[in-house]
Amino acid sequence: HVEKGDIQVVSVTAEAWRFPSTTAWCPAGKKITGGGANCFTPGGSIWLVHSAPAGDNGWVATCDTTKDKNASIIVHALCL
C-alpha cells in the first residue's frame, strides 16, 4: 500500500551536442519504480531513443536530434 508522499520524483537535466543523455538516481534507501524523460532542441527534430532502469535505483535516458545542435534532456526517476 503506497501512501501519498511515499513516491519521490528525482529529475536531472543535461545538455550535449546532438545526443544528450543522463541518469537520475534515487536517494539512498529508495528503489526505482518507474521513470521517463523529456527531450528538447532549439531546431530540427528530436526523439527519445533510450529510456530504461539503471540497476535497481536509477533511470537512464538518451535523446537524438537530426541537427548538429546542442539539445537537452530531463530524466525523471520515480523512487519508492
24 within some domain: yes
Tell me what pLDDT residue 2 has: 64
Cell of 27: 536517494
Domain count, the chain: 1
68 within some domain: yes
46 within some domain: yes
52 within some domain: yes
41-67 pLDDT, tens per residue?
Answer: 988 889 999 999 999 999 999 999 987
Under DSSP, the state recorded for 3 is: P
Q: What is the mean pLDDT of the chain?
A: 93
Question: pTM for the whole thing?
Answer: 0.90
Nearest Cα residue to 26 out of 8, 6, 13: 8
Cell of 37: 524523460
1 within some domain: no
Tell me what pLDDT residue 5 has: 75
32 within some domain: yes
Instruction: Say how far apart CA 20 and CA 2 lie, in whole Å.
Output: 33
Domain that holds residue 62: 11-79
